[in-house]
Amino acid sequence: MTLFQLIMLGASAFFAYKIYEHIQTLQDPQESDVKPDADRTAEAFSPFDASSLIDKADDAMQKGDLQKALAIYSEANIKAPNDPETLFKMGYTLVQQKRYDEALEYYKEALALDANNSYIHQAMASLYRKMASFEKAKNHLKNSLEIDANNPITYYNYGNLLVDMKDFDGAKKMYENALRLDANMKEAEEELDKLTKES
């Protein structure tokens, strides 16, 4: 098991049991291998602070190395717990791995710490839509709009959700709202054209 895997496993309750199993197979280190006052807290993982780790994880994400990114985000979460941005990024990385239930838990933690973050609400709406939990997705999009009513992407995503829910008139209004805020949003224009031609 690599160091990054060990860090990743230690990052959350989801992996706690696997860490326990792994630790049972390890031999105790020789006394000469351990400093008398060695700190076996989160600081022992690496010399990097949480901010530097986040940068490294973001870089891994851009390179498409999802497993490495998750491991580093997890270490950052140990060093600086309860940071909604880190939890959000862990959730997003898990979504890319199609580990939706785990991702949802991190999103919920992030939202509990930053309830007025419209982007977390949008991410949760997107995830609930993937999971076909349309009403929950709708509630999060409503919350996102209550926080920021001037984001055209939210209206566009809302329109897509309403199409899935067969509410085509409602979807048209959402696409129109998106275009009102951003007349150059081609995606919204295309979806609105499709609905107009089909009606």
Note down pLDDT in tens along the chain; length 199 residues: 443 333 333 333 333 333 334 333 333 334 333 333 334 344 445 678 899 999 999 999 999 999 999 999 999 999 999 999 999 999 999 999 999 999 999 999 999 999 999 999 999 999 999 999 999 999 999 999 999 999 999 999 999 999 999 999 999 999 999 999 999 999 999 999 999 988 6
**Structure tokens of 109?**
């933690």
- Structural domains of the chain, with CATH: 1-21+44-101 (1.25.40), 115-199 (1.25.40.10)
Own/partner contacts of 87-91, CB < 8 Å, gap of 24 or more, are 87/113, 88/117, 88/119, 88/120, 88/123, 89/54, 89/57, 89/58, 89/61, 90/11, 90/12, 91/123, 91/127
| CB atoms near residue 131 (< 10 Å) | 14
What Å distances lie between residue 72 and 77, 152, 189, CA to CA? 9, 32, 39
Asked if 84 contacts 16 with a C-beta cutoff of 8 angstroms, the reply is no
